[in-house]
Amino acid sequence: MSAPEGPLVVGVDSSTQSTKALVVDAGTGHVVARGQAPHRLLPGPGQESDPESWWQALETALGQCGHAAGEAAAVSVGGQQHGLVTLDRAGRPVRPAMLWNDVRSAPQRDWMVEQLGGPELCAERVGSVPAPSFTATKWAWLHEHEPESAAATAAVRLPHDYLTGRLTGEGTTDRGDASGTGWWATSTQSYDEEILELLRLDSELLPRVLPPGEAAGRVGGGLPLPEGALVAGGTGDNMAAALGLGLHPGQPVLSLGTSGTVYAVSTHRPADPTGTLSGFADARGDWLPLACTLNCTLAVDRIAALLGLGREAVEGGGEVTLLPFLDGERTPHLPHSSGLLTGLRHATTGGQVLQAAYDGAVFALLRALKPVLENEPRQGSGDEAPLLLIGGGAKGTAWRDTVRRLSGRAVQVPRAEELVALGAAAQAAGLLLGEDPAAVARRWGTADGPAYEAVPRDDEALDRVAGALRDADTLLRRQ
């Protein structure tokens, strides 16, 4: 390894399935070492994981980074949003963490929204209409179904808070991740005492919300990190990815993964009563309006497998329409829906059906992107900026071509990978160097990558999918 141009920093991505650690040259953004270790997902009716396994995975991932981790001057953790971590007085988990994709709390979500006066008042107060993934609904579920666990809880944390707290011994969080709980109000940028009272949650159990740029503390001993290294506040995974791209306000992002995500940094606080947008804060001081679809690459891959085709074996033409809502859908709000296929003819080919699956998935994302971009008044619809495509799907020709054809816009695919960990590293570097972390990421060139020109928008395909969704509304909502 050549001598670094700047101090070394560590960025961590603790996701649903694994922990990744990058050691990064703060001067150039060059990744000098990396490590990764899996988490244990527990069997059962929900989606749960033992927080201790996250800590063990972090130790393993840092150990894989070798001596480079031992030279780091600062570290930051980006973590999966919305998870509920309950700790006893000794700091040990009371029970396994309920993860973001655990939606058993749907009845509690409906109760909470009703108690707060309905979707419009919720959005104005909290910034979002809480979804069953939000931490507040999980706490309400715990109180109802496991009152003994709720009573034994001495501290409530998010996944990134838990790891940051293990690093520093302090109880902190950041505004970005806090904005996804449902009990931190974006209207006041503070914990909402009335909501906490409704949920029977004492504010003393919650971490202190750090302002942007403030350190969470310093690394204690017993890790493959230097004792005393600075620990940045950390943030949620979506906020970290936005930092990792160094986004300017209004710059649109489509993330093509198992689920799909669209977002953009905004200077204007979101408050969408329809529930399409989650009105998150970002990790810097701005906002991150975001919409998420449940069915993206995994759903399209499943259609390809059913057809016995490779994922790139698409064909144009035909009249077929496919809404690939195989796991229910979050955006649009169709939690009990299934996939729907219409317009089959004798001449329809398997490749046309597969292309229709891509069209259905991308249509849902682009439909959600419109209000995301309209939330930034300085940029309007952001029509001139290329769409930044990230996630595993961004590497696929069929995904890129479908996005271009249905959006009518140019797309750009950043070469940088592990954007959550890179964003955490940029936050650590910004703290260490006294710089804006988004400016650090831009200096690193994290968004640089191949660009693909715009093509004429396929309005016929858009109308076909929109019509199928409209006409099938009753069928899709019947459950």
Omega before residue 4 within 30° of 0, cis = no
Among residues 237, 272, 286, 436, the one annotated as catalytic is 237
- Bridge partners of 354, per DSSP, are none
Give catalytic status of residue 177 as yes or no. Answer: no
Pull the structure tokens for residue 291: 């919409």
Q: How far is CA 290 from CA 211, 279, 370, in A?
A: 21, 7, 11
Own/partner pairs, 297-300, CB within 8 angstroms, 24+ separation = 297/256, 297/257, 297/258, 297/260, 297/391, 297/392, 297/393, 297/399, 298/258, 299/324, 299/325, 299/326, 299/327, 299/339, 299/357, 299/361, 300/324, 300/354, 300/357, 300/358, 300/361
- Any idea which residues carry the catalytic annotation? 237
